[in-house]
Amino acid sequence: MSRLDPNGRWDGAVTSRALPSSEEEVASLSPALRASLGRIWWMQAATEARVAHSFQLVHASLAKLGANEALVQLAHRAIDDEHRHASLCEELTSRYVGNALGAYVKLPDAHPLHATAKNEEERAALYVVGQCALNETFASAYLTAAREECTSPLGRAALRELLADEIDHARVGWAYLMSASAELRVSLSDWILPLTVCNLREWQEVATQSEGHSTGELAAHGVPRAEAIREALEEAVSGVLLPGFAHVGLDTRAMERWAQAGMAT
C-alpha cells in the first residue's frame, strides 16, 4: 500500500513529471559506480523518510503557535513531501541496482530538545526556525550545488524534484519569522547562533564523510564533491542566513562576528 497521500502535492504521484528513461545511461556505468549510486540513494530514502517525523513536529509547532493557516498547511504537506522523496530515492535505487538492496529501513527519529527554552512557545518557534529556516535552507544549498555538478539527466531530474520541495519547506520558516511577534523575535535573536552552529555541524559532517570517496564521476550523477558541499554551506550562511535573519528583524551581530571569525562549529 502506498505511503503517499492522494491529496499530496502531486495528487499521490511521487514526482511532478515522469523521470527520464535511464536504461542506456545506467547500462553505460561501471558496476562499481552503479553499486555506489544504488547504496547512496537507498540510504537517502531512509534519511528522507526520517525527516517526515521532523515535519510532524513542525506542523504541530506551527499549530500550537497559531501561525498563519497557509504555513500550517504547507508544513502538513511537507510530511507527505518527505515520504515522496523517500519513494523517489527508492526509484533511483531501483534504476541503478534493481531490487538488490530491498526496502529502505526506518532510522530512529531524532530532533533537538532545546531544554533551555523559556517556554513551550519559544521551543515551538525554535523547531520551526531550526528545521525550516535553517535545515531546509542548507538542504536547498546542498541540492543546488549538487545540481550544478550533475550532468546525468536522471540525477538532474531527481535533484530538481527534491529541490523544489526543499525550497517550499525553507520558506515556511522564513515566512513564519516574518509574521512572528516582536517579542518572540527578540528571544529568537539569542538563539540563532547556537541553532546555526549545531545545524551547520550536521551538514559539515556530510562533507567530511564524503572526503576520500567524492569523485567527479559521482558528482556527475548528483552526489556532490566534499569541497562543493563545504562551499555551498559557507555561502548559505553568509549569503542567505545572515542577510535573511537581518531582513526578518533578528539581531545578527553575534552571528556575523562568528561568521567573520571562520564559522567554527
Partner 1 sequence: MLYPQHMTHRLLHTLVFSSAALVGGCGAAHVTPTSDASAPPDAGADAPDVRYCEAGWPTTKGQFRHDRDGVVYSCSHPMENPEMPDLSMCCVIRPEDLPENQP
Site for partner 1 in 73-112 (CB under 8 A): 74, 82, 85, 101, 105, 107-108, 110-112
Contact indicator for 259, 243 with CB cutoff of 8 Å: no
How far is Cα 33 from Cα 39, in angstroms, rounded to an integer?
Answer: 10
Q: What is the smallest separation between the CB atom of 253 and partner 1, expressed in angstroms?
A: 5
Question: What DSSP line would sit under 111-134, residue for residue?
Answer: ----TT-SSHHHHHHHHHIIIIII
- Select the residue interacting with partner 1 from 120, 148, 202, 227 (CB under 8 A): 202
CB closer to partner 1, 24 vs 99 = 99
Q: What is the smallest separation between the CB atom of 103 and partner 1, expressed in angstroms?
A: 11
- Cell numbers given for 143: 541540492
How far is Cα 52 from Cα 81, in angstroms, rounded to an integer?
Answer: 8
Indicate whether 257 belongs to the interface with partner 1 (CB under 8 A).
Answer: yes
Indicate whether 15 belongs to the interface with partner 1 (CB under 8 A).
Answer: no
Site for partner 1 in 19-78 (CB under 8 A): 36, 39-40, 42-44, 46-48, 50-51, 54, 68, 70-71, 74
- Select the residue interacting with partner 1 from 4, 75, 88, 236 (CB under 8 A): 236
Site for partner 1 in 205-224 (CB under 8 A): 205-206, 209-210, 212-213
CB closer to partner 1, 15 vs 252 = 252
How far is Cα 253 from Cα 265, in angstroms, rounded to an integer?
Answer: 17
Indicate whether 144 belongs to the interface with partner 1 (CB under 8 A).
Answer: yes
CB closer to partner 1, 24 vs 102 = 102
- Give, for 254, the enclosing helix (H) or strand (E): helix 253-260
- Secondary structure class of 2 (helix, strand, coil): coil
How far is Cα 19 from Cα 25, in angstroms, rounded to an integer?
Answer: 13
Q: How many residues bind partner 1 (CB under 8 A)?
A: 92
- Select the residue interacting with partner 1 from 33, 171, 184, 231 (CB under 8 A): 171
Contact indicator for 73, 157 with CB cutoff of 8 Å: no
CB closer to partner 1, 18 vs 113 = 113
Kindly give, in sequence order, each residue whose CB lies less than 8 Å from that of residue 2, ignoring residues fewer than 6 positions away: 12
CB closer to partner 1, 19 vs 240 = 240
Rounded to 10 deg, the angle between the 69-97 and 153-179 helix axes is 160
Least Cα distance to 129 among 165, 75, 172 occurs for 172
Site for partner 1 in 113-142 (CB under 8 A): 113-116, 130-131, 134-135, 137-142
CB closer to partner 1, 85 vs 230 = 85
Q: What is the smallest separation between the CB atom of 130 and partner 1, expressed in angstroms?
A: 5
How far is Cα 265 from Cα 81, in angstroms, rounded to an integer?
Answer: 30
Indicate whether 175 belongs to the interface with partner 1 (CB under 8 A).
Answer: yes
